[in-house]
Amino acid sequence: MNKIKKSLFLTISNECIGCDTCTTIAPNYFEMNKQNTLAIVVKHPNKEFDVKQCMLALKKCPVNAIGARQ
C-alpha cells in the first residue's frame, strides 16, 4: 500500500517559465518572485493534504521545474 508522505522539501529549478500553475494549485507554498516573475517556494508542506496539493502542482508543471524529496 502506498503511503502519502507527510512532509516534503520542495525546490524549483531554473527551468521555471513563470506560468503560474504551481501558485494557482498551491498558493500557500509557491509564489511568484516579483523581481524575475519566476516561482519560488515560500514554505514546505508538512500535512498530508498539503503534500497532495504540492504533488499535484509538481505533476502539472509544464516544464517539470518542481522537485520534491522527503
The answer to whether 68 touches 58, Cβ cutoff 8 Å, is yes
pLDDT surpasses 80 at 3: no
Q: Which residues contact 28 (CB under 8 A, 6 or more apart)?
A: 42, 43, 50
pLDDT surpasses 90 at 6:
no
pLDDT at 4 over 80: no
Place of cell 529549478: 13
* 4 within 8 A of 39, measured Cβ to Cβ: no
3-state secondary structure of 11: strand
List of domains in the chain: 9-69 (3.30.70.20)
* pLDDT digits 0-9 by tens, 18-48: 999 999 999 999 999 989 999 999 999 999 9
pLDDT at 63 over 70: yes
Beta-bridge partner residues of 68: 10
Instruction: Assess whether pLDDT exceeds 50 at residue 1.
Output: no
Percent above pLDDT 70 for the chain = 93
